[in-house]
Amino acid sequence: MTRTQRAVDPAEPHPVFPGPDENALKIAVVGGFGVGKTTMVRSVSEIRPLHTEEVMSRAGRRLEDTSRISAKNATTVAFDFGRITIADRSVLYLFGAPGQERFWFLWERLLSGTIGAVVLVDTRRPADAWYALDRLEHRGMPYIVAVNDFGGPLHSDEQIRQALALGPDVPLVEFDARDHSSSKFVLIALVEHLHTLSLRQKG
């Protein structure tokens, strides 16, 4: 067993699939390499999350810029999957997309059937979010932007919006991907944004 794998506990429940009275919604957690997508899915999922994280090889380190995340020793090579119940009979399926450019071909399938997305941003490397923003804009998919706290320099909301060219209608939140409550707050913010957009369309 590698250091990134987890032993299976046969007594642990696996409530993956929704019941007949539940409303299941698929969302994506996207962003650049090393911004905390796997950490967020792990922290917020109410089931043991499925992940395809592997120890980074020397070849992989040569392909990725790890200069600002030198402590990172594992990376997602396919996707992360988790589930959370956010309200009565409302269930979110979480799909975390790989951030490395060589795995971007997987995004189209992961985004299929997705109703919205969370774009994670590390303010030390804001340009890493551009691919995710471009793909979501191209698909016309609603999203919010969540700034993960890596203890870097503080930036105002306006500075972040300017760096990412975000419109005023895109919600921007700050959070800590390691914290369950903080990550759940991000998901609630996305659901509220989707609800607001739905009301606008109906109006």
Q: At 78, is the pLDDT very low, low, confident or very high (cuts 50, 70, 90)?
A: low
Whether the pLDDT of residue 157 is over 60: the answer is yes
pLDDT score for 51: 62
Q: Which residues are CB-contacts of 74 (< 8 A; sequence separation ≥ 6)?
A: 3, 4, 53, 54, 55, 56
> What is the per-residue pLDDT across 173-191, written as a single tens digit (0 to 9) for each?
999 999 999 999 999 999 9
Whether the pLDDT of residue 164 is over 70: the answer is yes
Q: Which residues pair with 80 in a beta bridge?
A: 51, 96
Q: At 87, is the pLDDT very low, low, confident or very high (cuts 50, 70, 90)?
A: confident
Record the tokens describing residue 87, joined without a space: 């309200």
Residue in 157, 137, 139, 138 with CA at minimum distance from that of residue 147: 157
For 147-172, b where at least 16 C-beta lie within 10 A, e where not — what string? bbebeeeebeeeebbeebebeeebbb
More confident residue, 150 or 119: 119
Q: At 101, is the pLDDT very low, low, confident or very high (cuts 50, 70, 90)?
A: confident
Whether the pLDDT of residue 62 is over 60: the answer is no
> What is the per-residue pLDDT across 11-54, written as a single tens digit (0 to 9) for each?
333 344 445 456 889 999 999 988 999 999 999 999 987 765 55
Record the tokens describing residue 88, joined without a space: 């009565």
pLDDT score for 53: 54
pLDDT score for 8: 33
pLDDT score for 12: 38
Average pLDDT over residues 66-71: 49
CATH number of 23-202: 3.40.50.300
Domain boundaries, the chain: 23-202
Cα→Cα distances 37→23, 96, 199, Å: 24, 6, 29
